Structure 1
């Protein structure tokens, strides 16, 4: 619009000058002194032709000015169209830039979301790894505890086996000593009663042998019963210790107890566990502890296992 104003002023001035020139010519023609009528027609003819010729020039000049004005207007129109085209192109370019910026902003937000998701996933993975490590550490601790318990049980079983062997060896030695004593006594008695009948001697010997065997059997039975009872008490203590180790306690359980029934397989696997009577909270904790243990210590000795395969125990929470 500024360019159009710059062209309008010169055109207006130029048009005004030409129009003024035409007006002056017209006025000059209108107010000139009229020729005297005494002049002949032949004398006024050149003046009229001159006026006509000047008027034609004026008309040509006017047409020329009109054409120049039209050309200027056409150029202005072309320039305005070019300006509008450029403005439209600039507007479209701005719109494209804005759309591009909008797209980049969306992409940036998507990248931020993806980054946030990746960070969250990494944190979740790290937390999972920490949890898995804690579980693995706990499992390792439990495994080591079970290994230690197994070793203790094996050591105890080994000691019991060695003790049993020693007792059997001592019993055998005692039997041998008694046998030697009996033989010596028999020889003496045979020497003293050599005149007795062979039947009486044989009957006496058989009676004495039966009595000796009965006494030995009684001795062995008593020794074996004591050993079995000792082993049973030991494994009962180990079973209670295992339950206590897995028992989850709180202050409300202090001084309370629960009596439970447990049935064990030969490998110590708990096949049945029931609460018989006692505090309900303690009973729930005791049953949960037994289920958590899964297996309880048992003796490899059949006689001891027979005493342990179905047992009633009293569980009392222990506080430090």
Structure 2
């Protein structure tokens, strides 16, 4: 296409210059003297060669200028075409990238929604399983509690009967001692009883600080027997009667105290070595 345009331009330029030379030649001063001819003699005016060379040089320069102008025009056209093609490709690449980004974003959104739905489904299934497990555990716990309470009641009854026998035996055993104390004087006996009551109150406060109370303990009771050493160390704590769960909590509270304060009076210490304690939150 470029060569065809160039050929057309050259042809047009040559035609113009040929016409121009023709006009120059037409306008040249050719003088024919109409004289009486003698024989066949012809006279003509000569054309200046320098002028023809100059005109030819001008024509060549004009042709070259036309070719240069055409080449420049073609170069500009090619540059514009290349720039437009580059711009077109850049725009096509931008649109392609936008489409790719849009597709990726839509894919990411679908994946996120799928993952969210999966998590919701898993959470719902886990909740159903957890609720079923909790119901089963609650049922098993209730059944075990019922069995334990039934067994506790039976054990408590047996322990209460045994304790009653033990208390009766202890009362018989220390009846003589009590009578002897009364004979020694009511003032000393009252002092010992007051000290025992005072230390008993202290012991209860120490135990209550470590007792973990639950709502299920309301209205329940527990009877414990504490056996202490002479310096107040807990040697043994046993359940006599009452709610098993409450008794376990009370035992734990006693064992956390570990050592109870003891008075200096050995008579009071003897009274505190074995303590029957009733816990009722």
Normalised by the length of structure 1, the TM-score is: 0.39
Structure possessing the higher relative contact order (Cα contacts under 8 Å, 6 or more residues apart) = 2
Normalised by the length of structure 2, the TM-score is: 0.43
